[in-house]
Amino acid sequence: MNAQTNVGQQDGHDDILDVVIVGAGFAGMYMLHRLRGLGFKARVFEAGSGVGGTWYWNRYPGARCDVESVQYSYQFDDALQQEWEWSERYAAQPEILRYANHVADRFDLRRDMQFNTRVISAVFDEGRGRWVIETRDGARTTARFCIMATGCLSSPNLPKFEGMASFKGDHYHTGHWPHEDVDFAGKRVAVIGTGSSAVQSIPIIAGQAKRLYVFQRTPNYAVPAHNAPLDPAYVKEVKANYPVMRARAKQTMTGIDFDYSDVKALETPPAARTAEFEKRWQRGGLSFLGAFQDLMMSEEANGTAADFVRGKIREKVEDPKLAELLAPKNTIGCKRLCIDIGYYETFNRPNVELIDVSEDPVEAITEKGVRAKGQEYEVDVIVFATGFDAMTGALLKIDIRGRDGLQLQQKWSEGPRTYLGIAMAGFPNLFSITGPGSPSVLTNMLPTIEQHVDWIAGVLEHMRERGLTAIEPEARAEEDWVGHVGELAGRTLRYTCSSWYLGVNIPGKPRVFMPYIGGFPRYVERCSEIADKGYEGFSLS
């Protein structure tokens, strides 16, 4: 490979770059736009061939957002939110990807983006006070700042099943889906996994395939999406009231405009409690868990919601034994709640079979299919809906080295350590958007991304105005933040199950609850306070 040092001279850039941004999902796109607006010279490196991140990679059938589209969209530019028309309550992946492309066109983002370019290392050159970013083609680029917009759910997890290479059919991971349509018609298909990606894709695959085997290790709770085309009158009303709705959303724990109840399930008479669950079930969507304020704090309260959903599963699934297998026993909301379109009913179809691998794991992938419970299930296609190495995966895949050669892999060997989920001691001028230690995946990611981007842009502006060239969290501030994140996490029921929030889905990953669970408003307030105090807890020079 022909290694070269690129100081921003590609494509006619004559100046040294101020910032390298890694990733062209919603975070990287807005970061570039924001920095350009402030007059910084920035360049984005993206592994894929286009913008959109999650929505570029996750092209599996049925992929759509689980936060309503009128909320799962940018708000930084009013003209943008006024002109874009969402067609459905929960837009499907092609529409969200079109939106990302529209944003890229509208703000002319692509001229500072380099696609098909995977960053393999980022090393801080202390002598020059610059990051040296190396891409897979061997090129090196230097910049004062490096911003990781690499995504929380962007590093697919393909478990190391024995015999993987021997399978003669086609296989796909939901998070790395081909750009061409995959035709399941007349085929025998295996889906491994029953998380959100599986819950969305299984009903569609089942409608096309000759036979579908679903390998379930842990059943999941799903509430109905009741997805539908958006009523133009409703859209008009939303557009007229966007600022109010967005402001209301920012006051909720998740950054989603829901009616969160402040009533406790355990202080509500059973009939009224059921009526509230039923009302939210009929409405559909994630607001189901906002029915009572103690659902994620008390096991007994949580049990009332879990019982309600289990009851619904029993109503939907005709075979009682199958219904029991599909009914989760764990805490509802501990893993991310799925929203579904006909998921449980799919198991009433004669061409669908559920294989419970909770006690006996998948034994192997064979030449002809999947072996489990001593039986070989012969298939033409295997779909791995096995999730992601979440929150830390994409970052740790890059060889990131800070001061004194400190490797991120080394620093995070016992779990991620950050200040605010944005920066790390020992790694000057390096930022991560929605990193571990921030509310991130527990929220509507679009406003969360915008908040991080604005905050980071504010830091860079602050430094430029004062002639400062380096910023880094103090070890003590980081230590306190990590302690605070862990302490809050320990208080909720989300700590109790084997979820990807805890890294438990990846063998050998430290069991640490990664996102900040204190809620969006509290987090934003803390970030603003820190900025107002001249970036308290950071050392600037």
Residues at the interface with ligand FAD (CB under 6 A): 22-28, 45-48, 53-54, 56, 58, 63, 65-67, 72, 118-119, 149-154, 197, 394, 398, 433-434, 444-445, 449
Pick from 42, 97, 301, 362 the residue near ligand NAP by CB under 6 A: 362
Answer for the pair 217, 361: CB distance below 8 angstroms, yes or no: yes
Residue 234 burial (C-beta neighbours within 10 Å; 0-12, 13-18, 19+): exposed
Residue 153 token pair: 């759910």
Q: Of these partners, ligand NAP, ligand FAD, none, which one is at the site of residue 193 (CB under 5 to 8 Å by kind)?
A: ligand NAP
Q: What is the smallest separation between the CB atom of 258 and ligand NAP, expressed in angstroms?
A: 16
Q: Which residue, 48 or 521, is less far from ligand FAD as judged by CB? A: 48
Rounded CA separation 345/471 (Å): 54
Q: Which is nearer to ligand NAP, 192 or 317 (CB)?
A: 192
Residue in this structure with the two tokens 């208080």, named with its chain if needed? 491
Sign (positive/negative) of CA torsion 315, 316, 322, 323?
negative
**Other C-beta atoms within 10 Å of 329: how many?**
10
Does 196 interact with ligand NAP (rule: CB under 6 A)?
yes
Partner that binds at residue 91, options ligand NAP, ligand FAD, none, CB closer than 5 to 8 Å by kind: none
CB-neighbour burial class of residue 407 (10 A; exposed 0-12, middle 13-18, buried 19+): middle
Buried b / exposed e over 474-501, threshold 16 CB at 10 Å, is eeebbeebbeebeebbeeebbbebebbb
**Ramachandran angles phi, psi of 225, nearest 5°:** -80, -30
* Residue 66 interacting with ligand NAP (CB under 6 A): yes
Q: How far is the CB of 323 from ligand FAD (least distance, A)?
A: 27
The minimum distance between CB 487 and ligand NAP, in angstroms, equals 24
Binds ligand NAP by CB under 6 A, chosen from 59, 89, 336, 411: 336
> Closest CB to ligand NAP belongs to which residue?
195
Q: In the complex with ligand FAD, which residue's Cβ is closer, 304 or 432?
A: 432
Give DSSP secondary structure letters for 275-325.
HHHHHHHHH-SGGGGGS-TTTTT-HHHHHHHHHHHHHHHHHH-SSHHHHHH
Q: For every residue of 20-62, which 3-state class applies, written as one string? A: EEECCCHHHHHHHHHHHHCCCCEEEECCCCCCCCHHHHCCCCC
Q: Out of 385, 394, 422, 442, which residue is the one contacting ligand NAP (CB under 6 A)? A: 385
Q: Which is nearer to ligand FAD, 429 or 434 (CB)?
A: 434
With CB under 5 to 8 Å by kind, the binding choice for 142 among ligand NAP, ligand FAD, none is none
- Taking the least distance from each CB to ligand NAP, the nearer of 481 and 501 is 501
Establish if 484 lies at the interface with ligand NAP (CB under 6 A). Answer: no
Of the pair 179, 321, the CB lying nearest ligand FAD is at: 179
For position 159 contacting ligand NAP by CB under 6 A, the verdict is yes
Nearer to ligand FAD, 227 or 429 (CB): 227
In 3D space, the residue among 17, 43, 32, 116 whose CA is nearest the CA of residue 449 turns out to be 32
CA distances from 297 to 126, 301, 491, 492, 495 (A): 46, 8, 7, 5, 11
Residue 54 Cβ, how far from ligand FAD at the closest point, in Å?
4
When CB distances are held under 5 to 8 angstroms depending on the partner's kind, the choice from ligand FAD, ligand NAP, none that residue 54 binds is ligand FAD
Contacting positions for ligand NAP (CB under 6 A): 65-66, 153, 159, 174, 192-198, 200, 215, 217-218, 336, 339, 357, 361-362, 385-388, 441, 498, 500, 505
